[in-house]
Structure 1
Amino acid sequence: METCLETSCKLLWMGLQGSGTDEIRGIVLNLVQPYDCEARWNTESFSKISQLRFLKLCDVQLPRGLSCLPSALNVVHWRGCPLKTLPLSNQLDEVVDLKLPHSRIEQLWHGTKLLDKLKFINLSFSKNLKQSPDFVGVPNLESLVLEGCTSLTEVHPSLVRHKKLVSLNLKDCKKLKSLPSKMETSSLNDLNLSGCSQFKCLPEFAESMEHLSVLSLEGTAITKLPTSLGCLTGLSHLDMKNCKNLVCIPDTIHKLRSLIVLNVSGCSKLSSLPEGLKEIKCLEELNASETAIQELPSFVFYLENLNDISFAGCKGPVSKSANGFFLPFKWLFGNHQTSIGFRLPPSALSLPSLKRINLSYCNLSEESFPDDFYCLSSLVILDLTGNNFVSLPSSISKLARLERLILNYCKKLQRLPELPSNMRGLDASNCTSFEISKFNPSKPCSLFASPAKWHLPRQLKGVLEKLRLPRERFDMLIRGSEIPPCYVVPPDVCHHEVDCYFFGPHGKVCISSRCLPPMEPCDPHLYIIYLSFDELRDIICKGGDCREIEFVLKTFYPNSCSSDTDGA
């Protein structure tokens, strides 16, 4: 392989020295690491190819360097370019697309270069790049990608005044701390600063930046947003996930009337959201998970188009013990605090578009829910994972459109109310206090994962009798050691996955696949699935005849990487 690559480089070099080079329009030498080609070409190898339009090189090394590029080039793609700067002794008047990802470029060019037709620059993952060039001579630039340029510390002021720049990607520029004081990029549509972990201060935004649609600030060090945020009237997506130092959002956010998605999840110091958000009628998704917000903001009930809301991990206010003298000894040296739960409003006003709520790990109890919770008539998915319920509020049974209820790790949960008639999925794994004798699964459920405390087979028989063959499907994962004797498995094997396949007119189709949750290697498990003939016919066969059903049990051994597959 290395000989072939070396030969290719030599042949290309010979071609560059021969006659007829003025007729060459394109060169492609696409190598893949680790087979880097070391081309010992003359520094002026390209000087004779005056009509070269397209140049694509991949991981081609030039120990002798390169002094010039053909002035007629339209496209330059050079992954792993070994040059420290681009040779522009002659002007590249025709270049439109310049892509040098994973290069060794330190400075793309020095001073001001006139590149009127250049529209696309990609220097992503060029880890030696320290500053961006002067863009005054690049008036038609539309896209600049500097993602992963981990040494970049400075952006030239001309960039934030560019009038035709549409997309600016500075993702994961770890050393970038700021941008010039004011942004006036009137055509900018997408600004990505996510992963710039030292970026502390956003510039002010000019009124002309009304076309900015996506602003990504995930993982930055910002503490606040400028009040000029309100100038971004075309903004539809604002992502501030994991901005750990963010403490507030300006009231001017109410001017963002086009905002559809607001993500402040993981902003652990953010304790409130501006009331002005109620004026953003088109907001569809609000994610405030893992923030310091203690109660559901009342403004959400004004957001008539809101369909997805998450306050997962918002624990609510904490109470402190009044008299430290009576605390247990192990608490005397710490500040003992107890969360009293995320606060929900006393009344659940209608949200006609709301389809999904995530209130997992919010320290909720049955009393946390308003009596009229059923007013959320469009709710389809309700995630209450990791809460403190002993029983669920009866109002949940009135959620007519609820299809999936998630109760994983509700370790105090003992019983369930009557489930809504439209329910198709119930996920209740690791509910270790659940009393199966009080569960009446008369409605069809696609999933129920039980705790290890079930007494089998007596209670299992009762559950199956209550089912009365639901129309669609029922499947159950039973964890623990009390599995009926007929289901005994070898002690050194742990089940990994159970698949159910149907062989019909259109070939083999997987109709159910169940991966086991985290477990001890030798935990035995039982997996039961019921599939009605109606479902096979209507959903899978589409009216065809059933030919064959296959169950496949995949297992792996805890002391090796090998796996076994058994079919039935």
Structure 2
Amino acid sequence: MLAPRLRERFHGSSSLTSLSLTACNNITSLPDSISGLTALTYLTLDRCTQLAGLPDSIGNLTQLIMLSLHGCLRLTRLPNSIGELTALATLDLSYCAALVGVPDSIGDLAALTTLELCYCDSLQRLPDSIGDLAALATLELCSCDSLEVLPTSIGNLAALATLVLRDCSSLHVLPDAIAQLTALTALDLGGCRSLQRLPASIWALQHLKALSLSFSRLTLLPEGVFTLASLTALNLCGCSRLTCLSEAIGELTALTALDLRYCHALTGLPDAIGNVHALTTLSLWCCSVLKALPESFSNLRALTDLDLHGCGALARLPDSIAQLTALQRINLGSCSSLHSIPDALVRVTQEGSIYAVVSAPCVLTSAPERAC
């Protein structure tokens, strides 16, 4: 319950605009009298760990812009009256571990731009009405372990720019309707271990700039990924079943960062990698069966950072690597099969143009002085 003294203070506080009850662990409910706070724009109830619900009268707070219930561990549901908060722009329900769903009335939140539902372990589904959130720009659902599917209505979110589904371990399929999210610039599917494939229609996301598929079980990327003309960052870290990249990667002319760390089955890179002229950062950390780099590497004239640490099967570097005129750092630590570095690379490293990291058990017989 709410302390009587605080309950009384809700009366006659109609001019109050901001109320924070963060970490008030004795609160189990809010009184109906909260509806009298008609000027309230910010309500923070973070870490009220005993709060089990909100009163129906919460819907009378029509000036409310931000409602945060972050870490309300016992909260299981929201009242239908939540849809009456027509000015609400931000709703944070992250770490509400007992929350099993959100009401259909959430679709009435016409001003909502940010909805955060991360670490809602019991959340099983989103209502179809989620597609009615015409202003929604950010939807975060990371680590919702019980969430298996998304409603097809998600394709109606015309303003959605950021969709985070990271570590939704039960999510096994994405609806084809995701291709309708033409405003989407960031899509995070990292750690979605039940996701076996991406919709072929992903090519339609032509404004997408950042795509993370880290620690997924994908064996191949759909060709549609390589037609994403605006893509600047591609994260494939920990894709342990990925054996190769398509030659079509050369079509990603805007790509500046490619993360291939811990791709333990990746045996090589396609020649077309040399066509990714905007690439500045390439990480191949612990790609343990990677045997060689293509000669086309010399075309990566914008590359500044190359990480080959732990590439235990890498026996040689192409001579053309010395032509990477923008290269500032190369990490060759624990490249146990690498016995030499091209003379030209040794020379520019000694001149100070490149900083090389070489550490045991790298068994080089020819190495730059600064690497030791």
**Partner of residue 187, structure 1:** 111
Q: Deviations over 1:232-275 (max 9, x none)?
A: 11011101110000001111111211111100000001111122
**Partner of residue 30, structure 1:** none
Give ranges in structure 1 of 5+ residues lacking alignment: 1-61, 68-82, 317-340, 465-474, 479-568
Match among 184, 189, 200 for residue 124 of structure 2: 200
**Partner of residue 257, structure 1:** 182
- Pair member with larger Rg: 1
Q: 1:111 to 1:463 in 2, by over 3 A?
A: closer
What's the offset of the Cα at 1:277?
2.1
**Partner of residue 237, structure 2:** 312
What's the offset of the Cα at 1:208?
4.0
Q: Deviations over 1:127-154 (max 9, x none)?
A: 1101122222211111101111111112
Using the size of structure 1 for normalisation, the TM-score is 0.60
Match among 259, 276, 282 for residue 382 of structure 1: 282
Q: Which runs of 4+ in 1 moved over 6 A?
A: none
Q: Partners in 2 of 1:173 and 1:280 — Cα distance? A: 31
**Partner of residue 138, structure 1:** 61
Match among 426, 447, 463 for residue 368 of structure 2: 463
Q: Partners in 2 of 1:89 and 1:148 — Cα distance? A: 24
Structure 1 residues 70-469: aligned runs within 5 Å: 86-87=7-8, 90-103=11-24, 104-110=26-32, 113-134=35-56, 135-184=58-107, 185-205=109-129, 208-220=132-144, 221-316=146-241, 341-366=242-267, 368-387=268-287, 388-418=289-319, 419=321, 420-436=324-340, 440-443=345-348, 444-454=353-363, 459=365, 463-464=368-369
- Is the contact made by 2:337 and 2:363 (CA closer than 8 Å) also made in structure 1? no
Tell me, what secondary structure is at the counterpart of 2:226? helix
What's the offset of the Cα at 1:365?
4.9
Q: 1:189 to 1:305 in 2, by over 3 A?
A: same
Q: Partners in 2 of 1:266 and 1:280 — Cα distance? A: 21
Q: Partners in 1 of 2:236 and 2:11 — Cα distance? A: 58
Tell me, what secondary structure is at the counterpart of 1:278? helix
What's the offset of the Cα at 1:207?
5.2
Q: 1:144 to 1:173 in 2, by over 3 A?
A: same
Q: Partners in 1 of 2:196 and 2:81 — Cα distance? A: 37
Q: Deviations over 1:506-541 (max 9, x none)?
A: xxxxxxxxxxxxxxxxxxxxxxxxxxxxxxxxxxxx
- Is the contact made by 1:111 and 1:133 (CA closer than 8 Å) also made in structure 2? no
Mean CA deviation greater in 391-400 or 301-310: 391-400
Q: Deviations over 1:152-175 (max 9, x none)?
A: 112111113431111001111111
What's the offset of the Cα at 1:392?
1.8
Q: Deviations over 1:410-441 (max 9, x none)?
A: 11122111312221110121212221366642
What's the offset of the Cα at 1:112?
7.5
- Is the contact made by 1:296 and 1:343 (CA closer than 8 Å) also made in structure 2? no
Q: Partners in 2 of 1:373 and 1:168 — Cα distance? A: 42
Q: 1:413 to 1:349 in 2, by over 3 A?
A: closer
Asked which structure has the greater RCO (Cα within 8 Å, sep 6+), the reply is 2
Q: Partners in 2 of 1:365 and 1:101 — Cα distance? A: 48
Q: Partners in 2 of 1:128 and 1:181 — Cα distance? A: 25
- Is the contact made by 2:10 and 2:34 (CA closer than 8 Å) also made in structure 1? no
What's the offset of the Cα at 1:361?
2.0
Q: 1:153 to 1:301 in 2, by over 3 A?
A: same
What's the offset of the Cα at 1:281?
1.3
Q: Partners in 2 of 1:204 and 1:91 — Cα distance? A: 39
Q: Partners in 2 of 1:288 and 1:454 — Cα distance? A: 34
Q: Partners in 2 of 1:206 and 1:386 — Cα distance? A: 41
Q: Partners in 1 of 2:132 and 2:248 — Cα distance? A: 42
What's the offset of the Cα at 1:87?
3.1
- Is the contact made by 2:163 and 2:184 (CA closer than 8 Å) also made in structure 1? yes
Paired-residue identity, %: 26
Q: Partners in 2 of 1:302 and 1:452 — Cα distance? A: 40
**Partner of residue 558, structure 1:** none
Q: 1:347 to 1:147 in 2, by over 3 A?
A: closer
Q: Which amino acid aligns with 1:393?
A: P
Alignment coverage as a number of residue pairs: 358
Q: Which amino acid aligns with 2:225?
A: V
Q: Partners in 2 of 1:306 and 1:407 — Cα distance? A: 23
Q: 1:89 to 1:190 in 2, by over 3 A?
A: closer
**Partner of residue 5, structure 1:** none
- Is the contact made by 1:205 and 1:232 (CA closer than 8 Å) also made in structure 2? no
Q: Partners in 2 of 1:255 and 1:437 — Cα distance? A: 48
Give ranges in structure 2 of 5+ residues lacking alignment: none
What's the offset of the Cα at 1:102?
0.8
- The structure where helix makes up a greater share of residues is 2
- Is the contact made by 2:112 and 2:136 (CA closer than 8 Å) also made in structure 1? yes
Q: Which amino acid aligns with 1:215?
A: L
